[in-house]
A and B are shown apart, each in its own frame.
Chain A
């Protein structure tokens, strides 16, 4: 019996690999297991190797596993590309149709199961994925009936007959495997899960849900991997709340339309990835100088240019912090789990309105697309705060005076009025302006307005800017990361501890303005600092050095080949540095 295992299904893109992974993982989710998934895919629709790696556990997990227990292969390429991940007691179950062979140095055992043949006999080769899942259930010692609920959900609208056919495919897959292998494999028996219902969600959906709950009623966006799910979620749900989505002609329109709508009082978001963010830079500056709230999601992927569009990377950090010409107040929030992404999305909206500035919600491909189990989300923990937004009753102004929308205030934040409000007329411009928004190049005014804007974030309130796992008052090493690397870092920490190394973990959730004081304290209490990043230049490490110095203490572990970190990789690299 094991408390967790890792299962992977692979084949050609367009062959139903994703749906195979979906049915398998949803069934495990219903049984109460914790899940963490990784999708390997390319920037094409049909053809090309794709796979889904799904980790199933009785405990919380947050990373792709180091090795693999079961590989389900729909073609030989899947075996050739993935067999090295399998451990000695691992298994390959492959479609007998292509006469699968295991490479010479393959440690795992291979079973050929006639996925396609069984499916064809039942009526359609499309059901070969169900046969494969059936065989999997036999390996794990699960009953095919455990899958009925999901099969019903997925195929129910096609009628009872289709459901039964699929159930039959499951059964036959299981039977065939049992006959061949003589029953479940002991080493691959999962301990029973608690059967509790939990959410199983990708980061993009968690962000979207947060936005909807946080009052977003309009979105303008342009499709791009790995951000499109946010737009798709909004298209599906906003109309029920009177809202809508416009798919714009480009990301410049997406960002500027969002600025227009936020100016007019609707919580409006846009979401994109690096290429789109590059196009939005001028608009971000406009939001900054006009003090118009704007929330943008950047789902990082491999850059630069089109780079590795379907692969993991964390290389937009500097661009998100500093991007746009000139100087503006900006907030960059980097959630590290789907659960955090939900709450942070709500907070991003609040901060954008309270501080009247652009807020970037930074994600990365693995967080955005990896599906993970999250603890129940608590609606009562969310709130909507709109800052100094004025109501629709304003006192009369002196004749022809404009409202002081950009009044120089102590906290730098000025009263905000929505167009349409009586006695509230003011002007908005991306040109430097006076307190009523009229263009002004007067030197003293320029300084006042710059200072006012810069002052706004000095007292930024953000809960837990750093996720801390710091049980040691004096640590041998502090490991630092941001976004989706959190789970892999957490998972390798006990291994370092087992080696007698005292390790603390700081995961930066607010990357800008940088929580220098908190980080300084953590750095001071460690002998060495290792910053783990999916980029090639150590952007977070550089941000830390800029903010807190400690140049000699700060080291990097970098990975930029397009794949997320495995816990073992971080462990090994840390050992090398210690």
Chain B
């Protein structure tokens, strides 16, 4: 059985020391080992950004695609081989700006992919511009007078889009993050895990300390019920989205793969591609 060490490769991440993404990498590696995956059972697909490099730092199959498109690539991988565990990952710009369309549709499509966003509320790789997750008034290179756009409430958005698994966590809480990733992978359908992953270089406001001060743990809210969408929505709104833990899970809704008409129960990638003469004749008879 593989341990988390087996999910390490020898590549040294090029992230800044202290970057929140290190913990996300470690959490994925631990979660994969904890649920008994082997490295070749896992495909990690990522977008472009500092965070997008993550697929190259995990000993598994990895696909570092283009900016904003980790989700369609990941969904394609899963549709092709439903035996693989597929994780999509990237930054807040990747997922909630350029890739927002895909995010909403991946949520409502509900293909069994786990999407982990490293949300630092800034564009790291391009050196500090505003992101759709930046707070109103946040000063960046591209908003020197402070952002005049509202930050997107991504967890609420996910709920309204029909998400079946919504969670949020924080890089400093490796244990919870690992557990949420495990749950996300085991969830049958699409899971979104937004991780506050501080950028120590370009975001001097939303720091580790800031999150420690401002994040409310759902575990601390008595009688919080993650199967109740109304409560989830209300709690998010009451706390301005600054909560951590499993926010909502619908264990009953079937995944896209289970609903798709005719879709093979065995991995399509292993399908026999030949058809016999009789089938061919039937196909052409349609046009005779």
Contact = CB atoms under 8 A, between A and B. Distances in A.
A276 interface: no
A282 interface: yes
A423 B59 CA distance: 11
B56 interface: yes
Contact of B76 (A205, A240, A259): A259
Contact of A257 (B75, B271, B274): B75
- Pick from B60, B76, B271, B287 the residue with the most CB of A within 10 Å: B76
Contacts of A209: 283-284, 287
Contacts of A29: 288
Contacts of A197: 288
Contacts of A252: 69, 72, 102
B77 A428 contact: no
B284 A243 contact: no
B40 interface: yes
B275 A237 contact: no
Given A265-B80, A420-B40, A420-B41, A213 B280 contact: yes
B216 to A, nearest CB: 33
Nearest to A197: B288
Interface string B56-83: 1001111111100101111111111101
Interface string B239-278: 0000000000000000000001111101111110111010
B72 A257 contact: yes
Contact of B72 (A256, A402, A429): A256
A217 B284 contact: no
B288 A198 contact: yes
A421 B40 contact: yes
B65 A261 contact: no
A307 interface: no
Contact of A253 (B60, B102, B264): B102
A560 to B, nearest CB: 31
B280 to A, nearest CB: 4
- Pick from B59, B78, B284 the residue with the most CB of A within 10 Å: B284
Given A197-B288, A419-B77, A428-B64, A248 B72 contact: yes
Given A244-B261, A421-B40, A428-B64, A261 B77 contact: yes
Interface size class of B (residues with CB under 8 A): 35 or more
- Pick from A266, A268, A376 the residue with the most CB of B within 10 Å: A266
B285 to A, nearest CB: 9
Contact of B101 (A243, A250, A437): A250
B73 A257 contact: yes
Nearest to A373: B287
A198 to B, nearest CB: 7
B283 to A, nearest CB: 6
Interface in A401-447: 402, 418-431, 437-439
Contacts of A1: none
A422 to B, nearest CB: 6
A267 B275 CA distance: 15
Interface in A273-324: 282-283, 286, 290
Contact of B62 (A260, A264, A428): A428
Contact of A200 (B56, B76, B287): B287
B283 A246 contact: no
Interface size class of A (residues with CB under 8 A): 35 or more
Contact of A248 (B84, B105, B283): B105
Given A253-B69, A256-B76, A438-B11, 6 more contacts: A239-B261, A256-B72, A259-B76, A267-B273, A268-B76, A428-B64
A242 interface: yes
Contact of B105 (A253, A259, A418, A439): A253
Contact of B271 (A199, A242, A259, A428): A242
Nearest to A248: B72
Given A242-B262, A286-B66, A430-B65, A260 B288 contact: no
B164 interface: no
B264 A242 contact: yes
Contact of B39 (A250, A377, A425): A425
A261 B76 contact: yes
B37 to A, nearest CB: 11
A427 B64 contact: yes
A181 interface: no
A25 to B, nearest CB: 12
B80 A240 contact: no
A140 interface: no
A400 interface: yes
A258 interface: yes
A242 B64 contact: no
A543 interface: no
Interface in B42-60: 43, 45, 48, 53, 55-56, 59-60
A438 B10 CA distance: 11
Contacts of B74: 260
10 contacts: A201-B287, A256-B65, A256-B73, A257-B72, A259-B73, A264-B81, A264-B269, A384-B273, A420-B40, A425-B61
A215 B66 contact: no
Contacts of B280: 213, 379
Contacts of A420: 40-41, 43, 61, 81, 83-84, 267, 269
